Chains A and B, each alone.
Chain A
């Protein structure tokens, strides 16, 4: 299909250096890597090792740790709390992912065409992404306040009675999903917008000439060629979805009646409210394992549906 020839492959030049120069080269590389390697070591790798160590102990934060081997993991795997926490997390993802993807795609399509004030709209939709989660969560808590929020006021105008939102165990998770999708919409939009712009216009033009209608062009040309961006969005959103915490902690604190008790909220409560830091660390590692497996499955599965043009 492509008209331009790929540039001839030139073997990379391997400069042959004397040992002294090689050492200098290695040192230079090390110096440049240091600024990112040191924080990574200090704030990610060492704490991770510490958390693995903690997960093999019983620890209430006050008394010395007690070695329990794999008991924490066994207890969690058998426990009903763990199942409930993963269940709530999956509920969140099931609502959040389709909503944020469909919304982001819609926005990206809208803002991909020539229109007045396009850049301003793009910036506006991106604003929530760079806003602190605490601010956004408080804002939504306020908007969705069952007694005095603007959403229920608007629902009241058409003669209906709004739900209890985050005060109602059945509506609390939908409230959090709504706030989360709203905040992350701009991020998904930007990624998909970049993907849309990389689709050569000629393809769509050719499809049009062949008699494909708008839906067929979207379904058969745009979506398949957008699949690398979609793949990226799905991987990132799934990881973020499994780690959902800030909005839950601020909006409901896992309540009401435990209806939004997601995994990371559970980790927080176990550590800081209940003094069960060992089990909390073990739960973090279980979450890590789940995210790793899910991501690996996606990476393997992508060959089936991701099209790199």
Chain B
């Protein structure tokens, strides 16, 4: 009896250990594929949860064209993605191919972790790509990643709330002052309806700074500690608790803003076009405009790319997949049909397909927002810079520091990171 119990316990422990080891897909090694097939791993943050099926469509089309390659998709949420990627690179279990955003590209390219895709496939045809997208992923003259998608940030608004409150709808000519006046009228704290939502973060700040006519850095030194910087920071910080919920009201709830907008209790929402697919079935009318500016217009543009690990055993296949995912017709049309960001293709006819979808009506604003873009400042110690700026702005929003003090402090931290 005792013996069999021990055996059972040992089996259980072994099973538990085995499960524990098989978790954390990003750090798994590739199993040898059967029948001479090559297994190619692809790690992504932008597919889950709304676009896993769309990615499957692209994978299926690729595998049909390349019957010897089996693409294995692994996903992680954005906030865990880079920790996992970095750890798997350190542990030499990196996926063959993976998604990289523009902000983090420099860190990985500079570290020598990426395969030069310009030479990996023995094919140098890049005519399918929009040139500026392609150039965004060059480092030291080498094409270390292929642009796969881009997206912009716009102002989404709930038409019904505007009409109910008798406030004129936002237009492309709006400035901060117009937005603020409308937000104040639309906020109804008793009904828990908020006029505006724009997080107090690095990403909103660098863009607001450009809208106010300021510059983040110049000549290797931070320059956001300026009157324009103060104006931009106040624009963000002063909304908290007035036209926007406070941190305490948000209570750390995941996707609080998404749910607030979906439940019809948020009038204006600064967010990306990647939200479109999730808003298909909301029971109210909504539309978008280019974000209001202050002294000028500036819209955030995010670029994602596909890169291959420098240590992949299948460079040719990795290149083929990266190229297919970024520029094939199937990939481009799948992205457009499902509103999964935009493909960085040069063919304008393909892009025009994006305008066919009737909701939101003003899809043209997405293309208009590209006329004045604000690219995030990128440095080698990117994550630390982003965290430092967000942390100081949070302190100002919590009322522990004045906006001026917070910016001075943030500027000195960023200067230290610039070394």
Contact = CB atoms under 8 A, between A and B. Distances in A.
B400 A169 contact: yes
A128 interface: no
Contacts, number: 72
Nearest to B108: A62
Contacts of A275: 86, 107, 383
A276 B353 CA distance: 45
A62 B90 contact: yes
Interface string A142-172: 0001111100000000000000111111100
B250 A274 contact: no
Contacts of A255: 391, 394
B247 A164 contact: yes
B179 interface: no
Name the residue in A63, A145, A169, A257 with the highest tally of chain B Cβ atoms < 10 Å from its Cβ.
A257
Interface of A is mostly: loop
Interface in A258-301: 258, 272-275
Interface string B375-409: 00000010110010001101100101000000000
Contacts of B112: 62-63
A273 B387 contact: yes
Nearest to B406: A257
B384 A164 contact: no
Contact of B247 (A141, A149, A167): A167
Contacts of A164: 246-248
B86 A145 contact: no
A256 interface: yes
Contact count band on B: 20 to 34
B252 A273 contact: no
Contacts of B381: 274
B337 interface: no
A61 interface: yes
Contacts of B391: 255, 257-258
A61 B90 contact: yes
Nearest to A164: B248
A96 to B, nearest CB: 22
B370 interface: no
Interface string A81-124: 00000000000000000000000000000000000000000000
B252 A168 contact: no
Interface string A209-229: 000000000000000000000
B251 interface: yes
B398 A168 contact: yes
A93 B381 CA distance: 32
Contact of A147 (B250, B384, B392, B394): B250
A256 B200 CA distance: 12
A60 interface: yes
B19 interface: no
A265 B394 CA distance: 19
B321 to A, nearest CB: 22
B87 interface: yes
A72 to B, nearest CB: 15
B47 interface: no
A62 B86 contact: yes
A13 to B, nearest CB: 34
B89 A62 contact: yes
Contacts of A61: 86-87, 89-90
Interface in B133-156: none
A61 B107 CA distance: 12
B163 to A, nearest CB: 29
Contacts of A146: 248-249, 251
B248 A168 contact: yes
B90 A167 contact: no
Nearest to A167: B247
B111 interface: yes
Interface string A162-195: 0011111110000000000000000000000000
Interface of A: 60-63, 141, 145-149, 164-170, 255-258, 272-275
18 contacts: A61-B90, A62-B89, A62-B111, A145-B252, A147-B249, A147-B253, A148-B251, A149-B251, A164-B247, A167-B248, A167-B250, A167-B251, A168-B247, A255-B394, A272-B83, A273-B383, A273-B384, A275-B107
Given A167-B246, A167-B248, A257-B392, 4 more contacts: A168-B248, A169-B395, A170-B400, A257-B395
